[in-house]
């Protein structure tokens, strides 16, 4: 009896040990190490829902500035741990536990296809470790990678088109922008099988998702102006970015627009380069927005390392995924990333937008490696494991510490309302309400105030302390429009700003300014 279920028992024991270990791990370590600021929008909204049954980040405004499925998962497990077990785990701790399970499920889903021996298992696990930062970043990235892995397995390996519709439904709820990828894949499959039945199923799943999202927006009272406040804000930023570029053109014509598009698409290798950056975890990577059109050598190298497996794959004789299929999937990935490049502010197309590229890269690389000789398998496994260790053992992020210190300072005040941009981290660790002044996880009204350049009125009337990493009297940098969005409201009310604290990174490269709104001040700093 024991032998029959020993694997299950071992998995349960391992899960319990993981829960115990994570429950005794300082959540701030997780935040400094793995999580992005955006992930804390999810955590705080989940926290507030568990406490108040309201979808709100700041405890003031209802919001829909998130992708639905990942938030629902966080809330569900939050209830499980905080209600039924009579114990308390921070949402950040619960997130890392869930994402550990997702990482394992992703590994098992592919291991069941390719694994022939222990070395293959180690190899497949090592390839997954390459992408560990994406699985444990606190956001929905790991979940959608898992879902796409299952989808590719179902459709392109098992040829099970009918039963994959439910996976489509989950993918669309996990990230709304995945509609582009799914639609193109459905068109590809429809062309292959010469049958419209699967296309009809996709349309049905899509309509159900739209109804779910619209119904959800109606229930929480955010209206029908947009599917998500975060997407609305980013679309607005894209408009400003585009207008700023046109204003810099001597003649505003088609050539100017095409030049703008060309500059945006030039960033495409940057996105793809991010896919396997863990291979170079010992190298300090600069963010895409620090390059401003330049593609450094250290970004070209990993880009080539993505292309190389594709090239080798196409030379292989025996493959589980057909060459036409894998090449089509890579083409779809390029189309998706190009679309994001053209419709987003370039430096906001972060690493986690590479989720589909990661999924098909995992399949491509594993297929190449499991068909390689034993020596190559051993060498790659060792290299990836070493680099994974370097990543995990690297020092915590300094910017996250600055945000935590800022939140801790503000916790010395009671019954205040804080306003800030990039508000996730501060909002999660603050004991007071924190309003996201960009509108990403706020109400539509705040978005409109940004558009009408009247945000300063809201700040004066509703905010006690405002936090910014842009000093309001400095000259705006590039892109000027983005800095002005954050600086202008404070410049307009500078006589009401009393600076109370400056918090800096150890190397002073990152600074937070904390201002108190003083409506009685006649002449401020």
Give me the sheet containing 418-420, strands edge to edge. Answer: 434-436, 418-420, 465-468, 511-517, 497-504
Range in 4-13, 223-232, 286-295, 432-441 the model is least confident about: 286-295
- Percent of the chain residues topping a pLDDT of 90: 30
Q: Whole-angstrom Cα distance, residue 319 to residue 369?
A: 11
Please, are residues 70 and 42 in contact by the beta-carbon 8 Å criterion? yes
- What's the confidence (pLDDT) of residue 338? 87
Residue 520's pLDDT band, with cuts at 50, 70 and 90, is low
Q: Which residue has the higher pLDDT, 232 or 393?
A: 232
Q: Whole-angstrom Cα distance, residue 61 to residue 446?
A: 10
Q: Which residue has the higher pLDDT, 428 or 32?
A: 428
List the domain boundaries for the chain.
263-393, 398-517
Residue 523's pLDDT band, with cuts at 50, 70 and 90, is very low
- Percent of the chain residues topping a pLDDT of 70: 81
Q: Which has the closest alpha carbon to 119: 378, 309, 389, 366?
A: 378
Q: Highest mean pLDDT: which of 4-18, 101-115, 277-291?
A: 101-115
The pLDDT tens digits of the residues spanning 459-470 come to 999 999 999 987
- What's the confidence (pLDDT) of residue 477? 64
pTM comes to: 0.89
Residue 496 to residues 3, 94, 132, 460, 513, Cα–Cα distance (Å): 72, 41, 46, 8, 15
Q: Whole-angstrom Cα distance, residue 56 to residue 347?
A: 27
Q: Whole-angstrom Cα distance, residue 298 to residue 288?
A: 12
Residue 41's pLDDT band, with cuts at 50, 70 and 90, is very high
Q: Whole-angstrom Cα distance, residue 342 to residue 238?
A: 9
Q: Whole-angstrom Cα distance, residue 459 to residue 327?
A: 51
Coil, helix or strand at residue 321 = coil
What's the mean pLDDT when you consider all of the chain? 82
Q: What's the rounded mean pLDDT across residues 224-249?
A: 82
State the CB neighbour count (10 A cutoff) for residue 119. Answer: 14
Residue 291's pLDDT band, with cuts at 50, 70 and 90, is very low
pLDDT at 30 over 60: yes
The pLDDT tens digits of the residues spanning 304-361 come to 777 888 888 888 888 888 888 999 999 999 899 888 888 887 666 777 888 999 999 8
Q: Where are the alpha helices (DSSP H) in 249-354?
A: 254-265, 268-273, 297-313, 323-343
The pLDDT tens digits of the residues spanning 194-210 come to 888 888 888 999 999 99
The pLDDT tens digits of the residues spanning 496-509 come to 999 888 887 665 66
Q: Which residue has the higher pLDDT, 47 or 25?
A: 47
The pLDDT tens digits of the residues spanning 391-423 come to 767 666 667 778 888 999 999 999 999 999 989
Residue 292's pLDDT band, with cuts at 50, 70 and 90, is very low
Q: Which residues pair with 465 in a beta bridge?
A: 418, 516
Q: Which residue has the higher pLDDT, 141 or 340?
A: 141
Q: Whole-angstrom Cα distance, residue 91 to residue 177?
A: 25
Q: Name residues whose C-beta falls within 8 Å of residue 55's C-beta, 6 or more positions apart in sequence.
A: 45, 48, 49, 62, 63, 64, 220
Residue 285's pLDDT band, with cuts at 50, 70 and 90, is very low
Q: Name residues whose C-beta falls within 8 Å of residue 497's C-beta, 6 or more positions apart in sequence.
A: 466, 472, 490, 515, 516, 517, 518, 521, 524, 525
Handedness of CA 174, 177, 183, 186 (dihedral sign): negative
User: Dihedral (C-alpha) 273, 274, 280, 281: value to the nearest 10 degrees?
Assistant: 170
- What's the confidence (pLDDT) of residue 293? 44
Please, are residues 27 and 90 in contact by the beta-carbon 8 Å criterion? yes
Q: Highest mean pLDDT: which of 48-57, 84-93, 260-269?
A: 48-57
Q: What's the rounded mean pLDDT across residues 144-155?
A: 94
Q: What share of the chain is helix, strand, coil (3-state, %, to 5)?
A: 65, 5, 25
pLDDT at 139 over 80: yes
Q: Which residue has the higher pLDDT, 404 or 517?
A: 517
pLDDT at 188 over 80: yes
Range in 10-24, 144-158, 429-443 the model is least confident about: 10-24
pLDDT at 288 over 70: no
Q: Which has the closest alpha carbon to 350: 274, 282, 296?
A: 274
Residue 99, H or E segment: helix 91-114
Q: Which residues pair with 362 in a beta bridge?
A: none
**DSSP-assigned letter for residue 285:** P
């Amino acid at each position: 009896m024991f032998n029959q279920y020993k694997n299950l028992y071992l998995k349960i024991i391992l899960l319990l040990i993981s829960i115990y270990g994570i429950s005794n791990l300082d959540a701030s370590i997780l935040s400094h190490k793995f999580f992005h600021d955006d992930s804390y929008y999810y955590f705080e909204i989940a926290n507030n829902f568990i406490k108040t049954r309201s979808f709100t980040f700041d405890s003031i405004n209802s919001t829909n500035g998130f992708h639905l499925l990942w938030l629902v998962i966080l809330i569900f497990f939050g209830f499980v741990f905080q209600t039924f077990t009579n114990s308390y785990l921070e949402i950040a701790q619960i997130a890392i536990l869930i994402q550990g399970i997702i990482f394992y499920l992703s590994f098992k889903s592919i291991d069941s296809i390719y694994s022939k021996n222990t070395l293959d298992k180690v190899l497949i696990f090592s390839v997954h470790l390459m992408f560990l930062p994406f699985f444990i970043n606190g956001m929905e990235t790991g979940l959608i990678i898992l879902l796409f892995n299952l989808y590719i397995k179902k459709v392109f390996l098992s040829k099970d088109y009918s039963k994959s519709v439910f996976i489509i439904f989950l993918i669309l709820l996990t990230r709304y922008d995945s509609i582009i990828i799914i639609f193109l894949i459905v068109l590809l499959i429809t062309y292959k099988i010469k049958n419209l039945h699967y296309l009809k199923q996709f349309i049905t799943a899509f309509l159900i998702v739209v109804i779910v999202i619209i119904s959800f927006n109606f229930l929480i009272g955010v209206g029908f102006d947009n599917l998500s406040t975060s997407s609305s804000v980013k679309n607005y930023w894209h408009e400003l970015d585009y207008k700023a570029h046109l204003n810099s053109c001597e003649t505003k014509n088609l050539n100017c627009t095409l030049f703008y598009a060309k500059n945006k698409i030039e960033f495409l290798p940057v996105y793809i380069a991010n896919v396997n950056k863990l291979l170079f975890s010992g190298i300090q990577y600069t963010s895409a927005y620090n390059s401003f059109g330049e593609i450094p050598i250290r970004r070209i190298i990993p880009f080539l390392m993505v292309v190389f497996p594709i090239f080798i794959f196409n030379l292989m004789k025996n493959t589980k995924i057909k060459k036409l299929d894998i090449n089509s999937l890579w083409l779809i990935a390029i189309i998706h990333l190009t679309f994001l490049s053209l419709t987003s502010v370039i430096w906001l197309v972060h690493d986690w937008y590479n989720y589909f590229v990661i999924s098909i890269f995992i399949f491509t690389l594993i297929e190449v490696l499991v068909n390689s000789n034993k020596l190559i398998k051993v060498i790659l496994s060792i290299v990836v494991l070493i680099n994974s260790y370097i990543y995990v053992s690297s020092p915590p992020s300094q910017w996250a510490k600055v945000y935590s210190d800022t939140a801790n300072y503000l916790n010395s005040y009671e019954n205040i309302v804080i306003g800030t941009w990039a508000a996730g981290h501060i909002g999660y660790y603050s004991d007071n309400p924190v309003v996201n002044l960009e509108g990403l996880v706020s109400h539509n009204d705040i978005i409109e105030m940004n558009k009408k350049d009247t945000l300063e009125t809201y700040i004066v009337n509703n905010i006690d302390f405002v936090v910014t990493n842009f000093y309001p009297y400095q000259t705006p940098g590039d892109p000027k429009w983005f800095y002005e969005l954050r600086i202008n409201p404070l410049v307009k009310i500078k006589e009401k700003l009393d600076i109370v604290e400056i918090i800096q990174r150890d190397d002073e490269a990152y600074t937070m300014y904390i201002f108190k709104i003083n409506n009685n001040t006649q002449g401020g700093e």
